[in-house]
Structure 1
Amino acid sequence: MAVTDEAIEKIKQMIVAGELRPGDRLPREADLSGRLGLSRSSLREAVKALTLINVLNVRQGDGTYVTSLEPALLLESLSFVVDLHRDDTVLQFFEVRRLLEPAATALAAQRMGSDEIAELRCLLDRLGDSPTVDDLVANDLEFHRRIVAGAGNPVLASMVDTVSATTQRARIWRGLTQADAVAATLREHRAIAASLAARDPDGARAWATVHIGGVERWLTSAIPPTAGVGPSTLDAIRPT
């Protein structure tokens, strides 16, 4: 194991064991390096690495602290990696979204507050029956964000939000190229909202699966066979 990796592992074990808790200040560098049997340079590199993934927070002139370790904060590094995805992987992200989001929607049917469900339906009503594609996609993102938040599981919500963001471009392309995309999205959103209001987790899961699967199927069929896969895969789908 590299020296820096060893330093990272030892700090991690201190956190896992409860020796360092969220918000705690790390001991002075000289004290901590001696306690862990590490050089000060390897300890500094470990602190830098753990700061990048939001485990530690260096406050200039004050010291180094353990962050809140909240799931949304820790998963920001996953978001950075996801942002580097290429268009040829978008179908893989849709597959992950189809596995996770229906489960979150089913949980929301059981846990989401009545006021939150009412606000969700108002969100759909404000969109109207003939929205622009940009308005529809913005509304779609907010609609799904509220539902996964309503599932009451911050880890699941952060993962779904991260994966969902990568599919935004494909959703815009669908709205521009598929004749009935807007109507289908509105219909499916209303069905999901109705299932939530009825406290029907099976119905909510089914409609969420239908909704996400529809975009996935469209994308699979819309990519021309001659386009191949690569960074410009979505650019091969031209509005008609």
Structure 2
Amino acid sequence: MRIERVLAAAGLATGDAPEVTDHGRSGDLVARCGDAFVKIARRSETWNARALERESAVLRWLAGKAPVPQVLWSGAVADDLALVMRAAPGTAVSHVPEADAEAALTATVRTLAALHALSIAGCPFDQRLSLKLAEAEARVAGGAVDESDFDAERLGLTAAEAWARLTAAIPATEDLVLAHGDASLPNFIWGANVTLIDLGRFGIADRYQDLSLFLRSAQRNHPQVDAVHLLATHYPLTDLDAVRLAFYQFLDEFF
């Protein structure tokens, strides 16, 4: 019923029964409806609703600058906030066949490099570390951190204990780019090109925000591919900073 209400508000009639594809780690309801995707967050779920509202604005701002889905409609319906997008053709890079994994990862690296090469001037979306840390601290205080989902080396820590360790390792500087913000492989759709999706954390941030999550996700989803080598070959960075990689993977525990 929630999906049907959104489609009606958007003036869309697909003729096909909605196919719920995910409830997402964030708790959003995600459904495929013909050639459109619908994402819905309850307005009462503050973190999710804020991220979805932000994603709608990001997609509109990035249109024509980077490969992102077309926004068909966004707005409020009853107790929900919703975003309706044109479905990106292709397959999530996390789910491509093993035979295609290296080609898909290479295309993803090149897409990240192109995104990071765009000028940050005029970008209204700020994800600098000071803001990310403030949001992370608020999530700890609000009980919004899923301690059961910590990476293996941090399982058993409370959110407060993890926060204390993170804040002892904050980098002194940032290398700012336009960052996807959640550059895990499910958020890249590989087809004729690579489309960026799930952009609720997009904004001006350190490039390692993306590089760290890309490498972690590549290791988990396609361990047979040397993703570090692909970065060295296709991304304009001389050496990877292992300390920054570890820090930004740690920071992701709070989101």
Q: Tell me the TM-score normalized by structure 2.
A: 0.29
Name whichever structure is richer in helix by fraction. 1
Larger Rg: 1
